Structure 1
C-alpha cells in the first residue's frame, strides 16, 4: 500500500462517514485542480469537518508505514493532520508542487504548517522540497521546527551538510532534543563537532547548562575526523 492508501484506511476507520465523504469530495477537487486556492480552502475547513482526535495506530500500522516509505513515522498524527497531508498528496500532480507548497505556507496557520512539514517525506519530488524544509527549520516556533526535525527522515536524506548542522545546533538552541532526529548517528561530522564545542563554550561562559546530548555528538564527530 502507498502512504496515501494507508492514511486513507487509518482515517476512514475512525472518522464519521459524513466527514469521510466530505474529504473524498475535497480530495477529488484538489486532484482535478491542484491550485493554491482550491487547496487552501480545503485545508482550512479540515478541523471543522474532520476533527482533531489523535490517530489510533497499531504496531502493525507503524510497521506498514515503514514498509510503504522507509523511515516514515506516523506516530502522533491527528485526524486533521492526516486529512491535510492527504489533500497535499492529491495536489502532487501540480506543475510546480514545491511552489504550490510555498504558497500554501504563506497563508497557513500554525496547525496547517505543522501538517505540511509532517508530510514532507511523502511528497513527490523530494530533492526540490529541501528549501521548503529549510524554511521550517528556520521557524521561531518550536513545534514547527520539530515537525521537520523530529521523527522525519527528510532532513537526513535531503539536507546539505551545512543545513543539517544548522538544524542540529538549532535543536539545542531552542532547547529541543536530539534523540528524535532520524539519521543523527550517520551524519555527525567534524564541522558539526566544532560548532557544538563553540556553542558549549558560549553556554558555559554565560553560566548556562549544556545538554548532555551535545557531548555525544562531539564524541561521534571526533571519531570520524
Structure 2
C-alpha cells in the first residue's frame, strides 16, 4: 500500500520527537481511531501543547515526498506537525470525524489556525475545509492571511479563479511579499489583469506608487489600457518599474509587447540572460 501524507508525517515525527512524546501521540491517535470518539479527538488535540515540546523540525529524513520542500520552507515545528497528524489520522479513521475536525478549526485560536491553513494540503480531501481557507482571505491579521497565501500550494489547487484573484489583490493591498505567492503564471487570468490595471490607475490618481511585482500576472493579457500602463512603467524614473515592464513584455507573445521591447530595451539583455527575473526583481 502506498504511503499517505499522514505516514510521512509520522516518519518525520518519529525522527524529531523523543520516545515518550512519540509513543503518547501514537497511542492517542490509535485510541481515537478505535473508539471513534469525538471526545478523544478533542482531548488529544487540546493536550498536544502540554505533551509535545514545540521545537523546529531538524530532520526531515532521507525519503523524498511531495511536500518535503514545503515543510522545510515553512520551517515546520514538532507541535504543528503533531496537530496536523492528529487531524489527518482522525479523518482517515472515518467520515464521522469530518464535522468534529471542521468544528475544531472554527474555534481555533490564531496559532492553531495558522498551522491548519499552512498544512491544509496534508489532510485527506482538503477541499472539505475550503470554508476556512476562503475565510482567511477576509482577515487583516497578516500571519493568518500569509498562512494560506505564501508558499502554500492549496490556493492554486482548490481556490476558484475569483477566490485566487481576491487573494492576490489582498496581498498587494496588505503590502505582503508577492514573490512568495506560488503559481502566479499558472493562475493569471484576464479578469485579474483588468483589475490590476484598474487598481494601478486608482493608486496613480492618488499619487501613490504601485509595487512593480504587482504586474507579474498581466503578460498574456496585454491589450487596451494595459499597453499604456506598461509603457508608463518603461518611461518611469524608477529602475524596478522599468525592469518589471521588461519582464512583462519578455514573457508575452503579443506583437504590442515586442514593439515595446524594441523601443525600451535598456534591461532586455539582462532579462534574456536570466540576470533579471521575477524572483530577484
Pairwise TM-score range, normalised by the shorter structure: 0.7 to 0.9
Listed one character per residue, the Cα deviations across residues 102-137 of structure 1 (whole Å, up to 9, x for unaligned) are: 311222111111121122112222333323321222
Asked whether the 8 Å contact 2:15–2:59 carries over to 1, the reply is: no
Equivalent-residue separation in structure 1 for 2:21 and 2:58 (angstroms): 17
Asked whether the 8 Å contact 1:10–1:56 carries over to 2, the reply is: no
Asked whether the 8 Å contact 2:151–2:180 carries over to 1, the reply is: yes
Q: Pick one of 15, 18, 24 that aligns with 2:17.
A: 15
2:71 corresponds to 1:74: yes
CA RMSD of aligned residues (A): 2.6
Listed one character per residue, the Cα deviations across residues 24-62 of structure 1 (whole Å, up to 9, x for unaligned) are: 12212332355654333322222322122111145955x
Equivalent-residue separation in structure 2 for 1:20 and 1:182 (angstroms): 33
Listed one character per residue, the Cα deviations across residues 133-187 of structure 1 (whole Å, up to 9, x for unaligned) are: 2122223221111221222222111111111110111111222122222222111
Structure 2 counterpart of 1:86 = 85
Aligned pairs for 1:83-122 (under 5 A) are 83-92=82-91, 93-95=93-95, 99-122=99-122
Asked whether the 8 Å contact 1:72–1:152 carries over to 2, the reply is: no
Which structure 1 segments of 5+ residues have no match?
none
Equivalent-residue separation in structure 1 for 2:202 and 2:38 (angstroms): 44
The change in CA–CA distance for 1:29 and 1:136 in structure 2 (over 3 A counts) is farther
2:53 corresponds to 1:51: yes
Aligned residues: 220
TM-score calculated relative to the size of structure 2: 0.69
Structure 1 counterpart of 2:134 = 134
The change in CA–CA distance for 1:190 and 1:112 in structure 2 (over 3 A counts) is same
Structure 1 counterpart of 2:31 = 29
Equivalent-residue separation in structure 2 for 1:34 and 1:111 (angstroms): 27
Q: Which has the higher contact order (CA 8 A, sep 6+)?
A: 1
Per mean C-alpha deviation after superposition, the further-off stretch among 189-198 and 44-53 is: 44-53
Listed one character per residue, the Cα deviations across residues 54-99 of structure 1 (whole Å, up to 9, x for unaligned) are: 11145955xx232xx6x97112111111000000101214426553
Asked whether the 8 Å contact 1:47–1:80 carries over to 2, the reply is: yes
TM-score calculated relative to the size of structure 1: 0.85
Asked whether the 8 Å contact 1:72–1:121 carries over to 2, the reply is: no
Aligned with 1:116: secondary structure?
helix
Structure 1 counterpart of 2:228 = none
The change in CA–CA distance for 1:213 and 1:79 in structure 2 (over 3 A counts) is same
The change in CA–CA distance for 1:14 and 1:124 in structure 2 (over 3 A counts) is closer
The change in CA–CA distance for 1:142 and 1:36 in structure 2 (over 3 A counts) is farther
Asked whether the 8 Å contact 1:98–1:132 carries over to 2, the reply is: no
Equivalent-residue separation in structure 1 for 2:39 and 2:139 (angstroms): 24
Aligned with 2:184: secondary structure?
coil
Structure 1 counterpart of 2:155 = 155
